[in-house]
Structure 1
Amino acid sequence: MDYSSIVEEVSKSVVTILTKQLTLDEFLMPSIAEGLGSGFSVGNGFVITSYHVIQNSRNIAVVSKDGFSSEADVIAVNPFNDLALLYTNLNLKALKFSEKVKVGEGVLAIGSPLGLDSVTLGIISSVDRTIQSPLGNPLYVLQTDAAVNPGNSGGPLINTKGEVVGVVTAMIPYAQGIGFAIPSKLVLSFLKNVERNNGKYVRPYLGIRVIKLNKAISTYFNLSSDSGVLVVAVDEDSPAYEAGIRRGDIITEVNGKKIESQLDLVASIDETGLEEIEMKILRGKDKISIKVAPVPLG
């Protein structure tokens, strides 16, 4: 199949991100380090990229494929999901998102190091991978065998319709052909969180840890459901504990949205910010509803 027309159209919205960072050299003396990454337009001058691309940067410049450039202001960052939102003077077409992604689906990783298209083709290898972020928290990612080049970081991972299914975030340098992307579901929840909190990202904290249920786990533990997420730990004095959530509860819905994985739960909580959420829970065979108000973390 020829993907050239899709790549050509999407590339118009993909940008190069150039950064300058103040670092210490081997003699512990201040020095300026330059960085290079990618990003893409979400409309009205706003650009999504990876947090690690712009982390600690003093100057950020954005260059489009056509050579138009703009200084960029950092609007909001979510280090925990390796996402950042920038504002520029560039008026580029917004890329469309898709939250639907399946194992085996064909995808392309697109970057734009100085306007030179960097495109690799692969498939989705996993939609339920969890890796550890540099901050030590779980990072929910898509795994792909599309080769991920350094300049692709922050760029879009698209499906064969040209829709963004993720933001390229990392690669394992010692593992051949493995790349990761932050799922679109988390990117969209990040944008909604920023919108709800007047241009600032606020990380909500509930104080629970969960695992995804399946038939094997449900059968082994004799649970009343094989879908949803199982609460395996609740922090004492946390909003979740005070609201009445307990170990062994099965969360099936948040604010009317079906919960089938940790990713679903994180995205649903994240998009509401600090607003009160309503959870549908199975406790044994009883169906209960619990309202809980997150608190800011960090």
Structure 2
Amino acid sequence: MKIFRFPLIILVFVHFCGLGNVANAEHSDANFPDVVEKLTRSTLAIAIDAPIKHAGPRIVGTGFVVGDGNYAITNYHVVSEVLDPTIVENYVVLSGQGRVIKKVKAAIEKIDPAHDLALLKLDSTLTPAVLSTTELLPPGTSIAFTGFPIGAILGLYPATHRGYISAITPDAIPAKNSDQLTVKMMQRLSDSSLIYQLDAVAYPGNSGSPVYNPESGEVIGVINKVLVKDTKESALSSPTGISYAIPIKYVTNLLHD
């Protein structure tokens, strides 16, 4: 009789451990809508407000509120357009959802072109996101990000996507083969920082979107580019599913410098 009891106990233990894992996964998924709702309050559309040129603010990317609520982070390339000094033209952030939105004037406070980051000073206090203290997470880590992939044609409606970190890779522009590698690209490979390669579909408007932990909501990175197969238009019609994000440590450095 003793020969059969030990295996039976093992089987029962494994069975209940499996049930525990399933329960934890279901609990995590059940909380995800609450996490998304919380991050959405901190997610912003970055736009250029020029009443003479446009009927409404022209959205150029995504960002999120940081610090004490008076600052926002986005990509440097999102706010690199030189504004026309001869007319009333400003960068603004749009907070809210649908057609009930708040427009807040924003000024470029600091930039980090090497890591494609910009810090904006806001004219109003908004709800900040919580930043992770982990500098770099390993491949296989689940992630989510929220942003504005198609602007605000029908109103301001943030979209959320999920995926995982597929690799830690140098911040370099991929080439199809070695014949396309230029001297500048080779230099960038040797001097580049490490960033996240994501198995997740992002679009051009997602630039500056917060990448966060689906369970805690802590921001771990910033979407900054998408691998495009052919033309920019193909990123919308036929996305590769490969995106890149700047680790949060560079955001922290920008805030503290």
TM-score (norm: length of structure 2) = 0.65
Q: Deviations over 1:59-86 (max 9, x none)?
A: 2111002511111111011111100000
Could you say which residue in structure 2 is the equivalent of 1:41?
65
- Specify whether residues 90 and 127 from structure 1 end up closer, same or farther in structure 2 by C-alpha distance, changes over 3 A only: farther
Decide whether aligned partners of structure 1 residues 150 and 12 sit closer, same or farther in structure 2, where only a CA change above 3 A counts: same
Deviations 1:165-196 (A, max 9, x none): 10110001117100001000111112111xxx
1:16 corresponds to 2:24: no
Equivalent residue in structure 1 for 2:143, among 93, 98, 107 = 107
**Distance in 2 between residues matched to 1:90 and 1:155, nearest whole Å:** 20
Please state how far the C-alpha of 1:20 moved relative to its aligned partner.
6.5
Matched residue type, 1:190: L
Cα distance between partner residues in 2 of 1:130 and 1:56:
22
Structure 1 residue ranges (4+ consecutive) displaced by more than 3 angstroms after TM superposition: none
| Whole-Å separation in 1 of the counterparts to 2:77 and 2:211 | 17
Pick aligned residue for 1:126 from 144, 153, 167? 167
> Does the CA contact (< 8 Å) of 1:35 and 1:53 recur in 2?
no
Identity rate, percent: 29
Runs of at least 5 residues in structure 2 that lack an aligned partner in the other structure? 1-28, 84-89, 175-183, 230-238
In the aligned structure 2, how far is the partner of 1:53 from the partner of 1:116? Answer: 19
Deviation at 1:44? 3.3
- The answer to whether the 8 Å contact 2:110/2:254 transfers is no
Give the aligned length.
Answer: 183
- Letter in structure 2 aligned against 1:163: E
Q: Which residue of 2 aligns with 1:170?
A: 225
Instruction: Give RMSD over aligned pairs.
Output: 2.5
Hey, what's the Cα distance between the residues in 1 that align with 2:96 and 2:109? 23
TM-score by length of 1: 0.56
> Greater relative contact order: 1 or 2 (C-alpha under 8 angstroms, separation 6 or more)?
2
Residue aligning to 2:256: 192
Change (3 A) 1:83 1:52: same
- Which residue of the partner structure matches residue 124 of structure 2? 90
Does residue 151 (structure 1) correspond to residue 182 (structure 2)? The answer is no
Q: Do structure 1's residue 52 and structure 2's residue 42 form an aligned pair?
A: no
Q: Per-residue displacement from partner, 1:6-42 (whole Å, max 9, x unpaired)?
A: 1011100000011279xxxxxxxxx99x552110000
More strand, by proportion: 1
